[in-house]
Chain A
Amino acid sequence: MTAVATHTWFMIGRQIRNLLRQPIWIAMLLIQPMVWLILYGQLFSRVPQLRAGAGSYVEFLAPGVVVMNAFFSATWSGMSMIEDLDRSVIDRFLATPVSRVSIVLSQIVRTGLTAVIQAAVILLVGLGLGVRVHAGALGWLTVFVAAALLAAAFGGVSHGLALILRREESMIGVANFVGLPLMFLSSILIAQRTMPHWMEVASRFNPVNWGVIAARNAVVVGGDWGSTGAHLGYLLAVTAATAAFATWALRRYQRTI
């Protein structure tokens, strides 16, 4: 167990350092959420029924954008695994006694951490645009946990698929196929009750939407802890399942080489 933890820590160190060396990546990390927030905020601000009782559409939107970012970055996070596979970095690791679990676990944790940083940026920009986090400090924490869990959950899927598909083109295909439908089958942009009935039903089974509900409870509603806790619990279960999937995919990769 300690080997898993220390090796995961070393691996996360490597990934974060490599990301911080890419100025474009940092710029996109910070700018992209603001673009969503401002763009969508302006686009839909004149349609009052969308925001479901929030003080402003931006306030309604901010937790949604947090979740959308976490979800999208996580969907693409497996690309770094494909690069490591292509460059034989994974094989070099596998030829050492390094903990196998740490190779995927570090990627999943890294995806979660990135989502938290983005969530903080979005909420801070949101404050400037008049957003209030109604549940206070605990609300901020809830948003961070929701973002981290959702990103970790889809990070597990993305890395598992990367280990199975091993091709960037295939990953792009799958990410696009899954990404946009899951986004529109959620209340990221519009209130759940304004959706067509079948979409509303479908959205109840969408992990992306669970993240939105938890984050929006914290920001807009300022409470409803029962629902928030339940949805975070579902996300935790999904994260555990997808992490297991990614670990299985690594073992499968080892068997096929």
Chain B
Amino acid sequence: MDAIVAEGLRKRYGEVQALDGVGFSVRQGEIFGLLGPNGAGKSTTIRVLATLTVPDEGRALVAGHDVVHEPNAVRRAFGYVPQDSGVDRNATGRENLLLQGRIQGMRGRPLRSRADRLLELVGIADAADRIVLHYSGGMKRRLDIALGLVHEPRVLYLDEPTTGLDPEVRASMWEEVRRLAEQEHLTILLTTHYLEEADALAQRVAIVSRGTVVVEGRPEELKRRLEGDAVQLELADRDLAAARAVLERAGAREEALLEGRTLVARVDNGGHALPGLLAALDAAGVAVASVAVSRPSLDDVYLHYTGRDFETEDRAGT
């Protein structure tokens, strides 16, 4: 049985169609990434799965329970680490954990020892009895995760787990997430707008764009499907027709046109093909302002499936 199944989720806020038929499934025990730029609908998807938002249409099951019809069964099955920390800043780390455990139905000694173990596990045992106000960003994030885990859920949602953290802290969080997944036998659903985070952490990803899943699969597999390297040609003049003719003769497959003047194309073995390509462009009288060759990345996967540049969309969505 899949740990999470989402089918055709739709949600509209006024004029904005936040979810436009999101569907994917997460297998038991895997780390699954919802990858997409800001505003793509990742957080709304998580909020539906966390029973916070009721979808207009569609259906979602978590650990076999329907999020709309059996919300309390679902709430016992998942732990939720929201994008903005939901910790009580005027309480200590331990007090936060104990309250969270109590409202999840835990009591007494089992709860206290679970809290001790979690504080140890996420590495904030020394600060357990300090007021959260005095925690660093990384410590607060670790406490967030501990709060999500207190009732020993089978599924953990991490909404943008490393946004706002320093790069070094981010790398150590990735390490931590992998370790937790293993030690606590968790299924993890994470959202991220960092391509490298999805690449580093997720065993499978669904790329989300404008409220739908455009493609789902293992990161390597998605990259492999692109076949060939990306060549980006920024043209000095907007001499598109001539440039396209040259590319076609060289066997390059055009993928997208960015900002009206940058052609992106797939070429087998790009490094090798480049000198010939440039010579041919020169011979055809096409002036090239800059050129770049890159191995396939999830960035390219995004571009390939949506026809839009990830970075540009990400900035537009904030």
A contacts, CB < 8 Å to B: 7, 10, 13-14, 17-18, 21-22, 87-89, 91-98, 254-255, 257
Contact = CB atoms under 8 A, between A and B. Distances in A.
A97 B91 contact: no
B75 A87 contact: no
B19 to A, nearest CB: 14
Interface string B117-160: 00000000000000100000000000000010000000000000
A87 B99 CA distance: 16
B91 A7 contact: no
Nearest to B53: A257
B80 interface: yes
B47 A18 contact: no
A89 B143 CA distance: 13
A190 B91 CA distance: 43
A18 B91 contact: yes
A254 B51 CA distance: 10
A156 B15 CA distance: 32
27 contacts: A10-B103, A13-B99, A14-B95, A17-B95, A18-B90, A21-B131, A87-B88, A88-B84, A88-B86, A91-B52, A91-B82, A92-B80, A92-B82, A95-B50, A95-B51, A95-B52, A95-B82, A96-B100, A96-B104, A97-B72, A97-B75, A97-B103, A97-B105, A254-B52, A257-B47, A257-B52, A257-B53
B303 interface: no
A165 to B, nearest CB: 18
Contacts of B90: 18, 21-22
B89 A95 contact: no
A14 B76 CA distance: 22
Contacts of A89: 86-88
B238 interface: no
Contacts of B99: 10, 13-14
B82 A7 contact: no
A10 B88 contact: no
A92 B78 CA distance: 12
A223 B78 CA distance: 57
Contacts of B86: 87-89, 91-92
B103 A95 contact: no
Nearest to A10: B102
A94 B75 CA distance: 9
B100 A94 contact: no
A7 B76 CA distance: 16
A91 B52 CA distance: 7
B294 interface: no
Contacts of A22: 90
A7 B102 CA distance: 8
A18 B51 CA distance: 28
B75 A96 contact: yes
A88 B83 CA distance: 9
Contacts of A254: 52
A92 B147 contact: yes
* Interface pairs A-B: 5 shortest CB-CB: A92-B86, A88-B86, A98-B103, A18-B90, A97-B72
Contacts of B47: 257
B278 to A, nearest CB: 52
B256 interface: no
Contacts of B104: 96-97
A181 B86 CA distance: 37
Contacts of A17: 91, 95
A92 B147 CA distance: 9
B103 A93 contact: yes
Nearest to B89: A87
Given A7-B103, A14-B99, A97-B103, A87 B84 contact: yes
Q: Which residue among B50, B103, B104 has the maximum number of chain A CB atoms within 10 Å of its CB? A: B103
A101 to B, nearest CB: 13
A14 B131 CA distance: 13
Contact of A94 (B52, B76, B102): B52
A124 B137 CA distance: 46
A255 B54 CA distance: 7
